Chains A and B, each alone.
Chain A
């Protein structure tokens, strides 16, 4: 009785002479192996060599500064409320006189912490941010940690360094798709990174 379409009739038919000899099959197998020996390797030596993951890959967080080097984050708490893993916490502080060159708005995050053990790198914080302050870097991941106190990242690790600013080739998925298309058509490989608004 046939129960499914996938069932297969098995037969026990006798092997031919060449099949019985085994040697031709071995030669055939060795030939395939030898062919792969001269082909281009598909593996990469991972920790030393890293693949480009695309401009919208979501790696570690960064707190952006604006063109004048002021912190963009105003501790509005929208990233923390959007975070499904509840990984973000912050303490706000009022900007004092004379700190205008440090913080963009009247209020700033005195403490901004991301628990990298809780974070699932979904990018909802990036989407929620009304000030374009928090982004997930496409080029760096969270390094492996060995101690518990390395898990919670504070502002010392998160805030952007003005001497080594973070830039992206594309900021949205649409832009990334257009970029891919351009690359596929073989035009303008190096796109000038756009400054964020």
Chain B
């Protein structure tokens, strides 16, 4: 009967012990820690290619490399090389070092540099800027300056229909869109051609475009390689206001995020979780054709992390933090009002009391000055 019992293993991630089921990856274990305690979110390794809702993703970008200082309780030797946490499964007694190991941080810096070798620095033009995972990754883990002097690779412009804009130069070959296309269609119509610098997605992408769910490649793309053509240059992400909304859709669940400017809906995306992963894939009708507020039932503003630029110029009372110090001071010095004194109406008594109070106050301040 032991087989039916869930096999629980214990690992130590950056000094924090966590119990997970056997077969979980290190990344998932780290995310479990962060989900249990929001203040530990910085410990989670970044992911550029790994995408939980898509089967088979991970292991390509090397952004999530971690050090395994102890393989398991049985075999306490460290793993010889840094391992990708998104596809490495945990073992009982494993000790993982992520932010605590300088070698890991150094390696990550190198990974940023490699990813940015061919990525154009056209963030001012790119529609993804502000919600781009590569931007976040480079900002948090990369070096401030580039050392790359050579020409970046370029591709011939490829038009893939009226809805999706492809910028092959910005692609970091994470394969997320390939897995999305694999998941939404039976035939393999979307893939990566050629090798090395010349590798590119999209040769048969026109065929996947007809699919009802093809728009989801926009959401899964971590960079601005696949963007919404109906939103192209309409506005910057941080000037639009994200609102959760839903509609009764025959093809998909119909739960989306609307990006509004005033009353106008200028973009529709799927809802994303804490890790930037789509919660429910949405259909193209919801994404591209339903751009009126009247099409949707609005649930309320989307929760945006305070650190995100999207929260700029949006003043929500629940997001504005009161200064800790003032609150602490107020709570420590709080006194209930003393109403036990008799109510005096006689002017002479009041005058006399105020003179006495003045004297007392002067005396106190003198004492304070002399000491």
Chain B, 187-233, CB within 8 A of any chain A CB: 232-233
| Bound complex: CA A80 to CA B313 (Å) | 10
A151 / chain B contacts, CB cutoff of 8 Å:
none
* Number of interface residues, chain A, beta carbon within 8 A: 16
A75 / chain B contacts, CB cutoff of 8 Å:
233
| Bound complex: CA A75 to CA B127 (Å) | 11
| Bound complex: CA A131 to CA B129 (Å) | 15
Task: Check A105–B124 contact: CB distance below 8 A.
Answer: yes
* Number of interface residues, chain B, beta carbon within 8 A: 15
Say if the beta carbon of A24 comes within 8 Å of chain B. Answer: no
Say if the beta carbon of A116 comes within 8 Å of chain B. Answer: no
Say if the beta carbon of B309 comes within 8 Å of chain A. Answer: yes
Task: Check A81–B312 contact: CB distance below 8 A.
Answer: yes
Say if the beta carbon of A175 comes within 8 Å of chain B. Answer: no
| Bound complex: CA A76 to CA B238 (Å) | 11
How far is the CB of A58 from the nearest CB of chain B, in Å? 22
A76 / chain B contacts, CB cutoff of 8 Å:
123-125, 129, 236
Say if the beta carbon of A78 comes within 8 Å of chain B. Answer: yes
Say if the beta carbon of B296 comes within 8 Å of chain A. Answer: no
How far is the CB of B146 from the nearest CB of chain A, in Å? 14
Secondary structure at chain B's binding surface: helix, strand, loop or mixed? loop
Known A76-B129, A81-B312: A92·B124 in contact at CB below 8 Å = no
How far is the CB of B41 from the nearest CB of chain A, in Å? 24
| Bound complex: CA A76 to CA B309 (Å) | 13
How far is the CB of A12 from the nearest CB of chain B, in Å? 28
Query: Quick one: which of A74, A77, A94, A106 contacts B239, CB cutoff 8 A?
Result: A77
Query: Quick one: which of A80, A86, A131 contacts B124, CB cutoff 8 A?
Result: A131
Say if the beta carbon of A130 comes within 8 Å of chain B. Answer: yes
A106 / chain B contacts, CB cutoff of 8 Å:
122, 125
Task: Check A81–B238 contact: CB distance below 8 A.
Answer: yes
Say if the beta carbon of B235 comes within 8 Å of chain A. Answer: yes
Q: What does the 1/0 interface line of A47-86 toward B look like (CB < 8 Å)?
A: 0000000000000000000000000001111101100001
B309 / chain A contacts, CB cutoff of 8 Å:
81
Task: Check B313–A92 contact: CB distance below 8 A.
Answer: no
Q: Considering the complex of A and B, which 7 residue pairs feature the smallest CB-CB distances, nearest first?
A: A76-B124, A77-B236, A92-B233, A107-B125, A74-B124, A81-B312, A107-B233
Mind listing 18 A-B residue pairs with CB under 8 Å?
A75-B233, A77-B235, A77-B236, A77-B239, A78-B124, A81-B236, A81-B239, A86-B313, A92-B233, A92-B234, A94-B232, A94-B233, A105-B122, A105-B124, A106-B122, A107-B125, A107-B233, A130-B123
